[in-house]
Structure 1
Amino acid sequence: MPKRSLTVSGTPSGSRIRDTSTCEPTSPKAEYCDSRIPTLHQCRRDSTEAIVGAITGTLRRPQAALLGRYNQDGVLRLVARSTPLHSEAARRLALHLTAAGRGHPWDGVRFTTSWGSRTPLDVVLIEPELVAEIYVDTEQDRGVWRHPVRFARLREDMAPGDVAAFGEGAVSAAG
């Protein structure tokens, strides 16, 4: 198979990297998500918090979480969607979920299945009172994480007001 080169956005013009199928790890001690992915494409994850505003699945068996942060005007803005929840995390989250009543900040908002998609995503709106610790890629686009985040745990010791504001990135609260 011939080697291909790919232009990577964000690198100096003309910079090229090897295709992922031909890449070798740069260092045996490198702590990356996947050693088959070129260093420029490695994902660095930071821990931060966000508010659970909606879920996919059901209240008894959530599958993924839609997470938000309040902006400067006090409006809950979507910042991320989680990867599928592990069964234990889903079970623990389900114990705390309360369906949202009228007046939820995302009432009437249409969510899609993926970035740039028009396929609607079925969600259950949740009272925005739960704070989740999440692992995020450092890349954001207008305040929203570009890649799905990993749900770590609920932060029962935190209130939604303790979470960093929309657009502040991977700022972790003390505790």
Structure 2
Amino acid sequence: MKKQGFSLIELMVTIVIMGVIAAVAVPKLFGFMAKSKATEITVAAGTYIKLQEVYIHDHTQGGNWFNIGYKSPAGNSTGKASTQNFEYDADQTTHNWTASPIVTLGDCAKGKKWFVNYKLNPPHDMKYWASTDDETNCITALLPNFSKLSNTTTPITSPGE
């Protein structure tokens, strides 16, 4: 008699193996998805810094988003606007550049602030501080390179000129 198909034990072993793989892979997948969504702000903050440097070189003072020609990935330069993952704020009363996730990104909760502040040392020297209000869950876990946008180790906690 010819044997056809799989035994019950073979099927159960296969299902257990697939379950173990899924238990390991799914959290990793969600972690990679959160990191990929968060990379949007590194590019946006880097663009802001470059435009601000050019503006300072030309005018020997800092400028607001509109003056330097910066538009967030959401397209705003004078107010609040949102992409699928972040809200960008051009207000500049607390920080020069601000982005807040509107979705939870891994352990980085909705509403946390990612920010860039600068301090101008005339005529053309500028110090930047890039950080967040939740260093452990937002920068260390998601984007350790975001802190490398800073060119100083001294925190700049308020918007500067």
User: Given the two structures, how large is their TM-score scaled by the length of structure 1?
Assistant: 0.24
Larger gyration radius, structure 1 or structure 2: 2
* TM-score between the two structures when normalised by the length of structure 2: 0.26
- Choose between structure 1 and 2: higher helix proportion: 2
More strand by share: 1
